[in-house]
Amino acid sequence: MLKIIFNISLFLSIASAASAQNVSIYADVNGNDSLQKLVTILTGQLKKSGSFNFNIQPASSYPGKGIYLSTASISRLVKPSAKLLNAGVEAFSIDGNDQTVQILGNSNMAVGHGIFSYLDFLGYRYYFANSDWHIIPSRPVLFKKWNIVSSPVFYHRRIWYGYGTGSKRADDDYNFWVLANRLGGTINASFGHAYEDIALRNKDVFLQHPEWFYPAAPKGVIPDGAKFDMSHEDLVQFVTRDVEKRIENSLRNKTNEYKMISLAPSDGPGTCNSPACQKLGTVTDRVYYLVNRVAKAIQKKYRSTLIGCLAYGEYIAPPTKNVEPNVFVGITMAFNTSKYSTEQLVELWRKKGAVVGLYNYFSWYAWDQDLPGQSHVSRPTEVVNTIKKYGALGVKAYEGESSQGWISKGLGYYLAAKAMWDGQADVAATRKEFFRLCFMNAAPAMEKLWNEWEKYSFQMVRENDLAHWIDYTTQADVLEKNPAVQKRLFQVRSYLHYLALYRIYQADRSEANLVNLLNYGYRKLDDGSVAGFPAFFELGNRSGIEGMAYSDKAKWRFNPAQVTEQELNNWIANDRRSLKTTKAIKETAPVVKLSTVPNIDRYKTLTAGADRWEDKAWFSINEWVIQVKTKGDGNYIEYSGNHLSDTREIIPAKISIYPYQPDGNVSGLQPAFSYEYDVARVRKKISLSSLKPGFYTVIVEDPSSFVIGFSPSINFSQVFRGSRPVYAAALYAAFIYVPEGTKYFNVTTIKAIEFITPAGRTISFPNSQKPEDLQIEVLKGEAGLWRVKLYDKVFFEGIPPFISTSPERMLIPAN
């Protein structure tokens, strides 16, 4: 019997070998470790698709059949095209027919880009940094007619984890994903915070020169977040020598560090402000004084080296002087304290002579907590449009600081990588393909889920929404049983359970809830489906609870085992049972036509005592709609802003007025009026006499709280949206409008809220001090103006998105 089994096994093995396709690869891998690595990756990926026997031969023996790989400069048997040779260091060409495929690149890196483009052509996809999200075609036809020459829009393309992963497996998955999606670039852009690194690498020298720091350091101390006093000539000379030494070491060791050396200040404000530094010019002039001096000193000897630096925070505005031509400037797309837009900064820095790149914040856990729609990259349409816009403007470097959490952000990362390479990429088709290939019959349900996530604007996931999302995955599980799809659904459900745990923690920030949340993230580090590692620092370290900070002995490390399917199914079932769902409400479309409240006299009792200055205190960014009825001096704003606890460093508040935009999107529009409020707690009268009659969108950006009032001649309402909820310390007499036919509307609130209806009914919800999702029933005769008392952040859904402290001047939908 054993002999029979052995013979059968031997027969199957021989049959399998006989059916394997023999493929020759012609590449000069001897002495070229980079090319050898790429050939190994190519053969490894192809073997996942079927039975292939690969034979690696030198390029000189290429007979016109098989796979040919070479850099263009040394290719002898296959002549590179002029188009390829003129297309840049990362450019590649692919020429294929039914006998062969020839991949040439202007560098080893370019050959790698060509290999992964070839795999993409065959049907391979590498959507997320986890093998469960790779698409492996079955037995692809390797040789087809195909011709392409391709090069990237951006010379530097980087998506990287600001926090790291805490997992070797996740790191390896990420590194492969970067390679597979053609990220990287030729300039090796390095322009991040560098002062502290310079001081620590040269500790003995800097300890002898405490005067090199600003302010001067105590003896024997390298300050945290060290800042330099660049007015010291001996510091400038030392930094120049240090840069030269680093370049020489890089060239000797054959690394890429020599291509760009960063001289950006350490993070945070505090640029040298001594009398000697002030003589150097503006804050930006001072930062770039050191950059320019070093750049000029090295540019003749090291022509291939750039000096990198950020344009960031207090030094984001361009300098008054030109910069050297070998200076690279990475403009940050947040922390912009200047009066210029990012587009304007790009142009202004270019005019100063800089090589310009952009540093975007795709995801920062401290801001988005891995919630849907909260990070820039979790809104893929927005992030791709931004990348394409700056590519079209000629920006040549694009970097996105990011974090783990591939379920909420992975599609954005993938599409961003596509757009960084190809400014004309059809991302809509690519997005459709993602759902079709990853979820098969369950694609419609999953596409609906991702679409809702992309548009999601709430900083706390609402019960009703989370319940529906769980239901979508339950539906998908029934529709598609393919094992590969099931693995992906497991990760999607893993993310939904993270949202449930985070929601519980938001409502009650107890030690037990935090331990549960962080331990779950700890157990999910390897697959990267949730942002577990960043949470250790932003939630654990900042909680102030003993044993929660990131350390080897943290309390949340009690269970390192991978989450099992059975565990997750039980948790998801419990999550779903605990969530309340509400009745469907009427969706509100953007309001095009506006008017004041009709028959306002019928609400005299309800509106008594309203429209007081004290009821106009708001926070942060607000959107308003106003109506200017006649042009003249009677139109003005009264404003008191910058209600900061510390007014020593005032960040100006901005008031921008645009022609009315029903959807609130003013991106790319020029304001009809703008005002910069650069004092603190001073009540100012701001004239709007230049505005013509009409409706306008007003955007107020204040770093803290502010009080705003509009002159009696102006009608107004605040506009609330999911991304801009009502946010006020307290409003004791505000008004919303409930149209005829409304049966229910929803309220998301953190603190107490009270309504008085037109019929005189009072609806009160006490101060629970935790987020709540409420559904309000509208009874017969209660359509019309409602009075509201509220605190903190509140969002209304199912009614027009307007609230006002003046019932007589409130703007609502016309008719």
- Over the stretch 21-56, which tens digit does the pLDDT of each residue have? 999 999 999 999 999 999 999 999 999 998 899 999
710: exposed, middle or buried (Cβ count in 10 Å: 0-12, 13-18, 19+) = buried
- In this prediction, residue 769 carries a pLDDT of 66
Given a contact cutoff of 8 angstroms between Cβ atoms, the answer to whether 250 and 305 are in contact is no
- Of the chain, the end-to-end C-alpha distance in Å amounts to 87
- In this prediction, residue 137 carries a pLDDT of 97
Structure tokens belonging to residue 17 = 């070998």
Count H helices and E strands in the chain, helices first: 23, 33
Residue 646: pLDDT band with limits 50, 70, 90: low
777: exposed, middle or buried (Cβ count in 10 Å: 0-12, 13-18, 19+) = exposed
Beta bridge partners of 685: 638
CATH superfamily of 195-361: Glycosidases (3.20.20.80)
pLDDT over 50 at 4, yes or no: no
Please tell me whether the peptide bond between 215 and the residue prior to it is cis, using omega within 30 degrees of 0.
Answer: yes
Residue 678: DSSP 8-state: -
Residue 217: what are its φ and ψ, rounded to 5°? -80, 150
- In this prediction, residue 350 carries a pLDDT of 96
Q: pLDDT tens digits, residue range 415-432?
A: 999 999 999 999 999 999
Parse the chain into domains and list their residue ranges: 2-151, 195-361, 433-578, 594-813
- In this prediction, residue 11 carries a pLDDT of 43
Chain centroid to Cα 13, Å, comes to 50
Q: Which amino acid is at 701?
A: E
Q: What's the mean pLDDT in 495-518?
A: 97
- pTM here is 0.90
Q: What's the mean pLDDT in 393-411?
A: 97
Place of tokens 């007025």: 657
Q: pLDDT tens digits, residue range 511-546?
A: 999 999 999 999 999 999 999 999 999 999 999 999
Q: pLDDT tens digits, residue range 130-155?
A: 999 999 999 999 999 999 999 999 99
Nearest one of 344, 419, 416, 341 to 376, comparing CA atoms: 416
- In this prediction, residue 768 carries a pLDDT of 66
Q: pLDDT tens digits, residue range 330-375?
A: 999 999 888 888 999 999 999 999 999 999 999 999 999 999 999 9
What is the share, in percent, of the chain residues with pLDDT greater than 90? Answer: 85
Beta bridge partners of 402: 161
pLDDT over 60 at 14, yes or no: no
Residue 649: pLDDT band with limits 50, 70, 90: low
Residue 589: pLDDT band with limits 50, 70, 90: confident
What count of residues does the chain have?
Answer: 815
- In this prediction, residue 705 carries a pLDDT of 83
- In this prediction, residue 339 carries a pLDDT of 81
Indicate if 195-361 has the same CATH topology as 2-151: no
pLDDT over 70 at 6, yes or no: no
Q: pLDDT tens digits, residue range 698-714?
A: 999 887 888 899 999 99
- In this prediction, residue 459 carries a pLDDT of 86
Within 10 A of 339 (CB to CB), how many other CB atoms are there?
11
- In this prediction, residue 472 carries a pLDDT of 98
Residue 645: DSSP 8-state: S
- In this prediction, residue 5 carries a pLDDT of 44
Q: What's the mean pLDDT in 776-782?
A: 97
- In this prediction, residue 615 carries a pLDDT of 59
- In this prediction, residue 611 carries a pLDDT of 72
- In this prediction, residue 13 carries a pLDDT of 45
Residue 642: pLDDT band with limits 50, 70, 90: confident
Residue 616: pLDDT band with limits 50, 70, 90: low
pLDDT over 90 at 792, yes or no: no
User: Considering the chain, what is the average pLDDT of its residues?
Assistant: 94
Structure tokens belonging to residue 282 = 């503006």
Residue 468: pLDDT band with limits 50, 70, 90: very high
Q: What's the mean pLDDT in 551-573?
A: 97
Distance CA 414, CA 412 (A): 5
Alpha helical stretches, state H, 480-609: 483-507, 511-523, 532-535, 542-543, 565-578, 604-607
Domain spanning 2-151 has what CATH number?
A: 3.30.379.10
Q: Tell me whether strands 802-803 and 784-797 are parallel, antiparallel or unpaired.
A: unpaired
Distance CA 529, CA 534 (A): 13
- In this prediction, residue 681 carries a pLDDT of 87
Given a contact cutoff of 8 angstroms between Cβ atoms, the answer to whether 199 and 268 are in contact is no
Q: pLDDT tens digits, residue range 88-119?
A: 999 999 999 999 999 999 999 999 999 999 99
Distance CA 320, CA 56 (A): 58
pLDDT over 70 at 66, yes or no: yes
Structure tokens belonging to residue 763 = 């609806």
Given a contact cutoff of 8 angstroms between Cβ atoms, the answer to whether 370 and 405 are in contact is yes
